[in-house]
Structure 1
Amino acid sequence: MDDRERIRLKMRRLRRQLDHYSSEWSAQACRWLDWKFQVSQHPLLSVGIAAAAGYLLIPGKKAPVRVELDEATRKEIVKQLQIQQFKEPISQSPAVPTLWQTGVTIASQLLLRSAINYGVSQIDRLMNAERTVTETESPETMHSVYHEIDPHSSLEHDNDIHLYQRT
């Protein structure tokens, strides 16, 4: 191989290495400019930078403006405010209930709820009692006759024997 061929071969190798390195460097530069990558790699530093940026972006309080008025101007302003105050209709703010009214309201709601619950339980009891009577009665028991004998009287009187029949 002569010197020219060796130089050309070295140049090709250098170009390939430059292509490889340039693509690698551009990928690394993109990674370094990606804010998601930076936050994942440096979370505490990211939070600190965000806090500092927020502190710098929020404007500070402005100093209050102090106006010096003479006595005549101050009296005139107060007079105008009083006149304006009486011209405007007085708005009716809703009345705040007293402690007694609040207690009475709570007690009445509790009583109402208790009465409703008692009524519902009584209706439920009646419906369950009716349901159990109809469920326990069979065709044999519906036509059976029950005899009840009074133990204080003799068996001679028909009035002492009571016949009950369920219908």
Structure 2
Amino acid sequence: MRKQQTKGYPDLRERPKKQPDVLFEEALTYLKAGGFRLTKPREVIVRAAVSFAEPFHAEDLLAKARQLDPEISLATIYRTLPMLLDSHLIREVELNREHRYYEVNREQSPAAFHIICADCEQVIQVQDECIMLRERFLANSLGFKPLKLNVRIEANCLDLHEKGTCERRAKVTIASAAPA
């Protein structure tokens, strides 16, 4: 069961883009404010989580945490994930049906969404300055206040189908959909 945010907790979404060490300290502040014990395994898991530059799943987090402390268990990872989600240090992203994926909330804006290549399953994170404005306007016009936006586009690679090769197959790229 997740502890609910109450007054006094810092809202980790309200920050400019920050480096892993700063995110680590903010997460520890959140855990202390929420009355969570700062155990060594939790600190290791938080440090491992903030080091990811791309989406990860629980097993990825376990592997990275075990590099810091071989005693970390998958059960401890699963018990810690709700705290990281509640603190807004990480957010859940829908990338496939096999695993739950998470990514570090490094900044409040711009909003990011993902394009998943149906050919090679590469994940491309796209940042769009306008998506937050569009979704907020749409929700408000219908009488709602948006809490979460999750955009996932599954697509075929045009280069692969037209040229037979795709430069993106070897790496995850970050594209910007912001106007030039």
Q: TM-score, normalised by structure 1?
A: 0.15
More strand by share: 2
Q: For the pair shown, which has the larger CA radius of gyration, 1 or 2?
A: 1
Q: Identify which of structures 1 and 2 has the higher relative contact order when contacts are C-alpha pairs closer than 8 Å and 6+ apart.
A: 2
Report the TM-score, using the length of structure 2 for normalisation: 0.14
Greater helix fraction, Structure 1 or Structure 2: 1
